[in-house]
Amino acid sequence: MHKNKQGFSLLELSIVITIIAIISAGIFAGDKFVHSSRLNKLIAEINNNLTALKTFKTTHGYWPGDLPDAEDIWGSSNVDNGNGDGFITGSSEYHNVGVQLVKENLIKDKSYARSNASYALQYDSFDGLKSAVFYQDPGVSGFNYSSLNRNRFQIGGGYHGFDAFFIPKDAHAIDVKLDDGKPRSGTIFYRIFGTTTDASCTNSTTSYYLSSNIPGCNIIYEFE
């Protein structure tokens, strides 16, 4: 006995394709929403870290790491005195930033210590994202777009936060929220160092390389 075998009709196929397209669009929109939420959380974390730094300075009169009598306050275990010059300079000072902010209960303790592997501030919004907080003379070691004598966050990949971590579109979004949206001006720019280059972040122009989906930017945020 022969059984009749019937395939899907064009109407049925069109319905299935439409359903798949709707589901795919929903997943894509959901992914964009989640990523946007993580960027907003990161911006909030950066602002919270800046508030923590300023609160510390208001309390002690110095930035964390630069505090000249830190050992008198907390003892010498995992703490170093700074030189009190108003800038977070040298590893003996910037290695102390996270440690001293934790001691003042201004940030969460993430096992910060005075070593290259453990000193950089960490973020809950993105795994592997870190930032060093320090001062560097303008125009030195890749700070080609800085003309200000300020302390700064260096936010990116690697233990110092100098490697490219952000796709240029995300770096631009952060820059727009916190500064002027331009990669070579204002208080937010990028540092040519590690895996971050002019080509990877801006396509060697004065604007972010928005068509690139490859991580190509770190973020430098000068604050005071």
Q: Specify the pLDDT at position 20.
A: 80
Residue 142 belongs to a domain: yes
Query: Residue 24 to residues 30, 104, 127, 134, 214: CA-CA distances in angstroms?
Result: 10, 47, 26, 45, 23
The model's pTM is 0.84
Q: Specify the pLDDT at position 158.
A: 93
- The residue range of the domain holding 213 is 136-224
Q: Specify the pLDDT at position 6.
A: 61
Q: Specify the pLDDT at position 46.
A: 97
Residues of the chain with pLDDT under 50: none
- Please state the domain count of the chain: 1
What is the enclosing helix (H) or strand (E) of 121?
strand 121-122
Residue 98 belongs to a domain: no
Query: In the 8-state DSSP scheme, what is residue 163?
Result: B
Residue 27 belongs to a domain: no
Residue 223 belongs to a domain: yes
Q: Specify the pLDDT at position 138.
A: 62
Q: Specify the pLDDT at position 55.
A: 98
Q: Residue 123, Cα to own-chain centre: how many angstroms?
A: 8
